[in-house]
A = this chain, B = another copy of it.
Amino acid sequence: MNTYRLNTTKHSEMVDITEQVQSAIAEQGIESGIAVVQSLHTTAGITVNENADPDVVKDFLRRLEEVYPWQHEKDMHMEGNTAAHLKTSTVGSTETILIENGKLVLGTWQGIYFCEFDGPRQNRSFAVKGIS
């Protein structure tokens, strides 16, 4: 298992981690199988989405904020980040990606993202494990 740390710089942010996941798989020597990528937080998730036009990420985060607004008069959780918990379970804490010939199987536009929903934060982390 490889664990990676990162610092996020915005309140909501999608960080492309495809290269780290590929590196972990190479280091672990997985030729064929799956890569499991897990966020170790409840206010940050992992998703696969478009890696080409950066506007997709901007639209994505703004739309998700509209569905789960940060401020909500009925929220009881004292920390005030209920919306981040919902966004995390919506995109999911974990992603599984197929591996063939030592490479992640990804469609032309697919990239793997660490999704910060309650930043900016120091020492966010995610773990990667390949299974043959």
Residue positions of A touching B, CB distance < 8 A:
1, 32-34, 36, 38-42, 47-50, 53, 55-56, 58-60, 62-64, 67-68, 72, 74-79, 82-83, 85-86, 88-98, 100, 105-107, 109-110, 125, 127, 129, 131-132
- Complex-state Cα separation, A98 to B126, whole angstroms: 11
Contacting pair A100 B56 (CB below 8 A): no
**Those 3 A-B pairs whose CB atoms lie nearest each other, nearest first:** A40-B107, A59-B82, A55-B76
Contacting pair B98 A49 (CB below 8 A): no
- Complex-state Cα separation, A1 to B53, whole angstroms: 29
Contacting pair B38 A105 (CB below 8 A): yes
User: Closest CB of chain B to A103's CB: distance in Å?
Assistant: 12
Given A40-B110, A42-B49, A53-B78, do A85 and B98 touch, yes or no (CB 8 Å)? no
